[in-house]
């Protein structure tokens, strides 16, 4: 903890105390909303290809968060793209300047995965990079600044990174047992590697992690299951959600994100995936080209006891109108306005807090 890190850590501890209390009140039912705003997340999810660059960008993010009006507890993350688990199967990383890393699938037919053996995560270059980065974070800031897991793509998402996505999507219909066996192995890797990360992170861990509002008092692990935006509700009910539930049972719950429109699937979550503790989605095209209608999210999730973390516009009037369409007395909300500048963020926090405080009491 040399140089500016000590100052950042000191300032962070003052901020964290207040925000962790808000999170605790949210969990305990003393408040029904939280506001999440952050300016520099995009640079975290680009071409960081070393532990040093990842740390520098993470600590810069933490420093910026100290100046921004929000309720969230910022954390460092060993992020190296969406292909961490695909790399365990041998998919090589493609590093491109200024962009997030990519992977190419290595299998082309369902026949290629018949009888395939589950790999060891320890043999993955990228998995080892994640672990080395966690160690590096800890060597710099100890447990003083929280750390979350790397980007955990669901078994279904990862399967489409390892095998041609068309084959996976068709296989869910024509060869479901083969596909599910393959995804079960991926699920086991997710559980094994997530537990290894958690052991290494230790007391610095906050949950659920990637893209979600996270805090010490929250539980579970964040899962990005973006294929929920393209599979049918029945496939999601039969395959995606049970797989996520298996991870949730092992990790003390899960929070699920998907891009796209997936409210028809949300309604199955309480019955099929009872360990789900949060859903994360976008409500406008500012965030996603295929957003969810606010009313549909409200109707799917109200009364379930599962909070919704929703992304809304930066424009203050549109932000307020969007939130008015999703709020319900029986739905706890985490609202994330798009960040454009400090002045807008200050105004949006004030206006949003007034709206939600008046509504929820």
pLDDT of residue 41: 65
CA dist., res. 361 & res. 359, Å (int): 6
Which parts of the chain register pLDDT below 70? 1-4, 40-42
Q: Other C-beta atoms within 10 Å of 100: how many?
A: 18
pLDDT tens by residue, 3-27: 568 889 999 999 999 999 999 999 9
Alpha-carbon span 243 to 251, nearest angstrom = 13
How far apart CA 310 and CA 284 sit, in angstroms, is: 10
Name the pTM for this structure. 0.96
pLDDT at 78: 97
Element (H, E) at 185: helix 176-201
Look up residue 289 and give its two tokens.
Answer: 């080209």
CATH architecture of the domain covering 33-360: Alpha-Beta Barrel (3.20)
| Domain edges within the chain | 33-360
* pLDDT attached to residue 44: 84
Supply the DSSP symbol for 204: G
């Amino acid at each position: 903890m040399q140089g500016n890190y000590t100052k950042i850590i000191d300032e962070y501890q003052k901020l964290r105390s207040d925000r962790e209390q808000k999170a605790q009140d949210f969990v305990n039912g003393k408040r029904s909303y939280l506001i999440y705003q952050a300016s520099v997340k995009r640079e975290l999810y680009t071409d960081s290809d070393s532990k040093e660059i990842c740390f520098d960008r993470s600590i810069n993010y933490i420093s910026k968060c100290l100046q921004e009006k929000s309720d969230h507890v910022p954390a460092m993350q060993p992020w190296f793209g969406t292909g961490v688990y695909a790399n365990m199967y041998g998919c090589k990383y493609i590093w491109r300047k200024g962009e997030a890393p990519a992977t190419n699938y290595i299998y082309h037919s369902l026949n290629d995965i018949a009888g395939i053996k589950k790999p060891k995560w320890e043999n993955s270059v990228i998995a080892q990079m994640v672990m080395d980065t966690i160690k590096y974070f800890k060597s710099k800031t100890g447990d003083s600044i929280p750390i979350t897991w790397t980007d955990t793509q669901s078994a279904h998402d990862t399967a489409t990174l390892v095998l041609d996505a068309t084959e996976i999507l068709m296989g869910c219909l024509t060869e479901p047992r083969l596909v599910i066996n393959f995804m079960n192995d991926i699920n086991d890797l997710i559980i094994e590697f997530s537990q290894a990360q958690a052991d290494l992170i230790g007391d610095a861990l906050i949950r659920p992690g990637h893209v979600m509002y996270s805090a010490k008092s929250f539980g579970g692990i964040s899962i990005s299951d973006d294929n929920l935006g393209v599979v049918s509700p029945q496939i999601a009910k039969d395959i995606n959600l049970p797989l996520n539930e298996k991870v949730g049972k092992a990790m003390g719950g899960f929070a699920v994100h998907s891009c796209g429109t997936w409210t028809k699937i949300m309604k199955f979550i309480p019955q099929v995936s009872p360990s789900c503790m949060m859903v994360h989605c976008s409500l406008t095209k500012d965030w996603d080209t295929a957003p969810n209608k606010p009313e549909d999210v409200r109707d799917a999730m109200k009364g379930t006891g599962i909070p919704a973390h929703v992304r809304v516009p930066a424009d203050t009037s549109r932000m307020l109108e969007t939130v008015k369409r999703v709020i319900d007395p029986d739905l706890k909300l985490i609202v994330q306005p798009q960040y454009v500048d400090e002045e807008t963020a200050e105004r949006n926090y004030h206006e949003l807090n007034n709206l939600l405080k008046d509504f929820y009491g």
